[in-house]
Amino acid sequence: MSLTLARIAELTGGRLAGDGARTIDRVRPLGEAQPTDLSFVANAKAVAGLAESRAGALIVLEGLRVSGRDIVFHPQPQTAMSQVARELYPDVAPPVGVHDLAVVDPTARLGAGVRVAPFAVIEADAVLGDGVSIGAGVHVARGVTIGAGTVVHARVVLYPRVSIGKQCLIHAGAVLGADGFGFVTTDGHHEKIPQVGGVEIADDVEIGANSCIDAGTLAPTRVGENTKIDDLVMIGHNNQIGRSVLLCGQVGLAGSNEIGDNVILTGQTGVSGHLRVGKGAMAAAKCAITRNVGPGEKVAGVPHMPLGLWRRVWKASQRLPEMRREMKALLRRVDDLERLVDTETPDRF
């Protein structure tokens, strides 16, 4: 796959300056780009990197003065790069239709243009909307529903009582609907509580590779529209996750939390159970949220505190050994002072 620079200008709506016939076949950052690569300059600061770059062509922020190169000027170079990337590297999908070596139950309902790769299993009563793509070795349990346009990558497992919205993207190895972690313990022996609530994923959700979203106990664990979940994230049973939430890599949620819209939990953050994290709240990396967090709050720490306080605490904590020394010195000085002042005391009575 390759594109001429003229085609790139047309595709992105940018302004061509230079040789429109030049062809490029990859995108690369400035430092790595070769003569058949397209790269970009998104701001004045990045211009410095140009001298050393071997990039064959560039998308440059409209208004910057760059010359002696084959260029498409554009008001939003990164958006334009994304458009080019989508064109140069079209999405992978199995061919339309069901592969001979897939097992699809006759009661499953498949929409128009559905793609099912080899070694996928689609059980009874599953419903796949138009254009759904099911990767190699995916397991779709009985009764699962998947909305139109959703792409399920290889080796994903969907347990019974899972429903997925439209235009979602589920990456390889993700597991949705496995049993929540619920037990009754009697005399130290754990007895399983059935977890039958399933999982409900809204539209336009992305779920990262090998992430796990457990079934609710009685009602579904839910993930709202446009929420984006990174790799190796664990969402325990009964969580209710809002819209446009970002859960970064290895985040873990224990059970029954409410996570408001537009919350951002950065990498390796954990949330204890039965908490509310308000709309637009943010947790800094590796935070442990152990109490409710209000809307818009920024928190950090293990367990969490307000981000500003946490920064000051962390800074001060590095002086702790010194503070202990100072404290001891101070104690001695006050001891001395008291002795001196006490000595005087009798004089005055």
Q: Which stretch binds its own copies (CB under 8 A): 7-15, 43-51, 107-115, 264-272?
A: 264-272
Restricted to residues 22-61, the positions that interact with its own copies (CB under 8 A) are 27-29, 32, 39
Query: At residue 189, what are phi and psi to the nearest 5 degrees?
Result: -105, 130
Please tell me the distance from the alpha carbon of residue 215 to that of residue 175, in angstroms, as a whole number: 10
Tokens of 88: 């140069």
Q: One symbol per residue from 61 to 100: x for binding its own copies (CB under 8 A), - otherwise; what is it?
A: -----------------xx-xx--xx-xx--x------x-
Strand order through the sheet with 228-229: 97-98, 115-116, 133-134, 151-152, 169-170, 206-207, 228-229, 246-247, 264-265, 282-283, 298-300, 305-306
Span of 3-11, 44-52, 56-64, 113-121 interacting with its own copies by CB under 8 A? 113-121
Q: Which is nearer to its own copies, 21 or 60 (CB)?
A: 60
Using alpha carbons, select from 98, 106, 296, 117 the residue that is nearest to residue 283: 296
Instruction: Tell me which residues in 117-136 interact with its own copies (CB under 8 A).
Output: 117-119, 121, 135-136
Answer yes or no whether residue 137 interacts with its own copies by CB under 8 A: yes
Q: Which of 139, 146, 202, 260 binds its own copies (CB under 8 A)?
A: 139
Residues 6+ apart with CB under 8 A from 166: 129, 147, 148, 149, 150, 203, 204
Q: For the CB of residue 51, give the shortest distance to its own copies in the complex, in Å.
A: 19
Out of 209, 275, 282, 293, point to the residue binding its own copies (CB under 8 A): 209
Question: Nearest distance from residue 173's CB to its own copies, in Å?
Answer: 5
Pick the closest to residue 69 from 135, 22, 13, 121 (CA basis). 22
Closest CA to 230 of 143, 287, 170, 155: 170
What residues between 166 and 185 interact with its own copies by CB under 8 A? 169, 171-173, 175, 178-179, 181, 183-185
* Residue from the set 25, 48, 75, 314 that interacts with its own copies by CB under 8 A: 314
Beta bridge pairs of residue 110: 128
- Distance, in Å, from the CA atom of 320 to the CA atom of 324, rounded to the nearest integer, reads 6
Of the candidate residues 12, 61, 152, 161, the single one contacting its own copies (CB under 8 A): 161
- The answer to whether 144 touches 176, Cβ cutoff 8 Å, is no
Please pick, from the candidates 9, 60, 162, 234, the single residue that binds its own copies as defined by CB under 8 A: 234
Among 110, 146, 199, 254, binds its own copies (CB under 8 A): 254
From candidates 196, 258, 276, 294, binder to its own copies by CB under 8 A: 196
Residues with a known catalytic role = 237
Of 309, 305, 279, the residue nearest 290 (C-alpha): 305
Positions 315 through 344 that interact with its own copies (CB under 8 A)? 315-321, 323-324, 326-327, 330-331, 333-334, 337-338, 340-341, 343-344
Number of residues this chain uses to bind its own copies (CB under 8 A) = 116
Helices 5-12, 77-88: axis angle to 10 degrees equals 120
C-beta of 111 vs 249, nearer to its own copies? 249
Quick check: helix, strand or coil at residue 121? strand
